[in-house]
Structure 1
Amino acid sequence: MGDVENTGARIRQYRRARGLSLDQAAGLAGISKGYLSRLERGERSVDSRARLTSIAQALEVSVADLTGQPYAPREQKHADAHRGVQATRLALLDPEGPGRSEEEVAAIIDGLDQIMARCDLVDEARIVPNVLRWTQQLADETGSPEAHRRVAIAAYTAIFYARNMGEFDLAWMAAERLRSAAEASNDPATLGLAAYGQAHALTPSGALRRAASVAQSGFDASDLGESESLAARGSCLLVGAATNASLGNIDTARAQLDDAMSLAARVEEPTMVARHTSFSSWNVIMHRVAVEVESGNPAAALETARPLASRPVKQRERMSYLWVDMGRAFSRMDRHRDAIDAFRRAERSAPLRVRLSPVVRDGVRDLLNQSHRRVAGAELRGLAERCGVLGEV
């Protein structure tokens, strides 16, 4: 199915292909028949990851089948970013090719966190395949723990590039490279980073319970000693909280965030794990916002977000997530103008990532549905066009 169809249309098509009635599918997914009918007609969007996962499981399809990911390129930047997908796959399957010196590779790896913070997927498409090959070549040659840690950082970056491109199987391939490198490094902090990366590779495919288990294992394996291990432990708490919220375990998620905030106060910057995962007190706050949105408490989410919205942090990628969550919260409160503004702020922070986000696409589609009987404003129509959903409503 192409990305010109919306999630509801895909749900309807898969339901009919499975020979299920609305009553049967709704019962299997644990939702009402009326809600499912409105989803299929495009009158509502799926408002939580847990609900989307339950619908996918009921229809025996993947979450990506319902969201339509990966999306076909519609613009030059998307096409440029997409060029790295096959190159990344080949680099993971076959790292042979021209290499670089250890000094050159070390310098590139040292700057990968800044590339991720900018969330420029075109830059990542150009860099990620090369660093995957170069780091693996050096690790095979030297076998040193430091060389394996560099492999881990390269693979970690590849996970998030692949996730943002909607290439979830590729993200898992990178997660397996990360796990293998972390084990070879025999470094507790890198093992914690691997658990964090693996959990993030699992969640967009709907493997939420396994993601929560992996995050917990990373937390359990990290000690309470030096800052690097504390950051790994805290990062696993963050992804665990996000995953538990998607599973509906809101109290568990909130407790994990409380523990993460305590750890954040003890981490001395900068550490390798904290740089790459952005583990910090402000990132804990961002996760609180996401958990409250997932729990159906938009007012609490917006109140929690207030300090960061008024004084943004430098990481553009993280700010894009915050503004998306705020847009979702505003939408749930029928504050449509504020929702449009929040989604546009998210787009300015990380343009291509946001346009490729199914959460944003569904949110923008909802806003169009609610305004199309009137005249949708130019800002909303422009955002819908850039996200590829203008012609669907």
Structure 2
Amino acid sequence: MADLARRSGLTEHLIVGLQSGRDWVDRHSVLCSLAGGLHLDPLDLTGQPYPPHGEQHVTVRAAAWYLRDHVFQSGPRTPGHRQRGHGGLLSATEEVRNAQATGDERALALALPPLLAAADQSVSSEGGGRPEIVTARNFAYAAAAGLLRRLGYRDLAWSLLHRARPAAGDGQVVEVEEVRLLTSMGMLRAAVDRAEQHLAAAQSVALLCAAAFAHACAGQRLHAERRLDEAEGRTSGEADAAEVTVARTGSAMQCGAWEQVLEQQEATAAMPPARRADLLLLAAGAWARCGQISRAVDRLAAAEKKAALYISLDPLARELLHALRARARDATSARELERMAGSFGVK
């Protein structure tokens, strides 16, 4: 026990609590530290990728296998989809953006194959080097890598991501996803270093937020706060503001600042559904840490209602569900948790 505590940087008290079920993992920083101490990949502790559960999950998993074929095919072509031209590329990009904003993983999975087809066709055709074409293709590959990352196919995500060609004016979408991917893999030092390297060239709101979260997971709260302040100063619209709010709240969660997390929960009213779900999930974790189990159940259920598959495939949401089921004492909360367990596909 002492040896694991030393290797992971976690306290023996926390490790004993996790082993006995008295505590649970609801922070990515703890997950990465524990995995590092055990010489495992974080995926080995979360069980990702999860077995398909329900028609929507099956559809998303099928898209993941399609993306796998896209990675290993020879050359930038995507068979099986009608060629859509530049107009099709813009239309497909908008479909993916809408799916991302709503947290609709099924719609995203269905929209990505035609987007990749249109992006590859546009790049290989005459005029494919135009900035708007390169930007759209980078967005397509970053969006596909992000879906694979959330599903647990991180090696595939990495391979797909590095087919993109980062360019000026694309919002640093490739760089952002690279930092998120390294963070999710538990490579926190690499994530921080890569984020700072990319920030030396440009500082998009999304990259500043990804850098802040990586710093927070690495236990560098002051660095995280500085990057979040910089991101807040660069916001230009509701989408940017929501990104910063969720990043600030997620960073606070990594540092165990439960009260700061709860201060942000009312901001969900002005957010896109996916960001609302993120914030509600964080609030659920904070309420659980404060011993307010009924409120935690309420927030977790609200998060699932906003973006069901997006939340049910989140490993920390699933861990929180297990923790709440062991702690719920009132019948209403117990029934709601059992309903969610069925929806999540957990026993």
Residue type of the alignment partner of 2:189: R
Structure 1: distance between partners of 2:143 and 2:218: 26
Query: 1:147: which partner in 2?
Result: 133
Counterpart Cα distance in 2 of 1:85 and 1:384:
24
Secondary structure of the residue aligned to 1:248 is coil
Q: 2:270 aligns with which of 304, 309, 312?
A: 312
Scaled by the length of structure 1, what TM-score is found?
A: 0.81
- Over 3 Å counting, the alpha-carbon distance change for 1:32 and 1:282 in structure 2 is closer
> What residue number does 2:214 align with?
243
Judged with a 3 Å threshold, the aligned counterparts in structure 2 of structure 1 residues 374 and 104 are, in CA distance, closer, same or farther, namely closer
Q: Which residue of 1 aligns with 2:160?
A: 174
* Equivalent AA in structure 1 for residue 270 of structure 2: P
Equivalent position to 2:182, from 172, 196, 202:
202
- Structure 2: runs of 5+ lacking an equivalent: none
Q: Tell me whether 296-305 or 189-198 shows the greater mean CA deviation.
A: 189-198
- Figure out how many residues of one structure are paired with residues of the other and give that number: 340
What SS does the corresponding residue of 1:190 show, helix, strand or coil? coil
2:45 is matched with which residue: 63, 66, 82?
Answer: 66
Alignment of 1:40-189 (within 5 A): 40-94=19-73, 95-97=77-79, 98=81, 99-142=83-126, 143-145=128-130, 146-178=132-164, 180=165, 182=166, 187-189=167-169
Partner deviation per Cα, 1:301-355 (whole Å, 9 max, x = no partner):
111333x14x232x11111111111111111101111100111111011100111
| Bigger relative CO (Cα 8 Å, ≥ 6 apart) | 2
- TM-score, with normalisation over the residues of structure 2? 0.91
Q: Indicate the SS of the match to 2:291.
A: coil
Q: d(CA) in 2 for partners of 1:140 and 1:27? A: 52
Query: In the alignment, which residue of structure 2 is the partner of 1:38?
Result: 17
- Match of residue 13 from structure 1: none
The two structures, once aligned, show a CA RMSD in angstroms of 2.1
Q: Percent identity?
A: 23
Kindly state the Cα deviation for residue 70 of structure 1 after the two structures are TM-superposed: 0.5
Q: For structure 1, list consecutive stretches of 5 or more residues without a partner in the other structure.
A: 1-21, 223-231
Q: Which runs of 4+ in 1 moved over 6 A?
A: 372-375
- Following superposition, the deviation at residue 385 of structure 1 comes to 2.7
The match for 1:289 is 249
Give me the whole-angstrom Cα distance separating, in 2, the residues matched to 1:251 and 1:29.
22
Partner Cα distance (1:388, 1:355) in 2: 8
Task: Identify the residue that residue 310 of structure 2 maps to in structure 1.
Answer: 353
Q: 1:139 to 1:375 in 2, by over 3 A?
A: closer
Q: Is the 8 A contact 2:53 2:344 kept in 1?
A: no
C-alpha displacement at 1:118, in angstroms? 1.7
Write out aligned runs for 1:270-281 (5 A): 278=239, 280-281=240-241
Q: Does the 8 Å CA contact 1:195/1:217 hold for their aligned counterparts?
A: no
- Residue 4 of structure 1 aligns with which residue? none
| Structure 1 residue corresponding to 2:321, chosen from 364, 385, 392 | 364
- Taking a change above 3 Å as real, the CA distance of residues 77 and 244 of structure 1, as seen in their structure-2 partners, is same
1:121-141 deviation per Cα after TM superposition (whole angstroms, max 9, x unaligned):
222222212322331132122
How far does residue 91 in structure 1 lie from its aligned partner after superposition?
Answer: 1.8
- Provide the C-alpha distance between the structure 2 equivalents of 1:64 and 1:134, rounded to a whole number of angstroms: 32
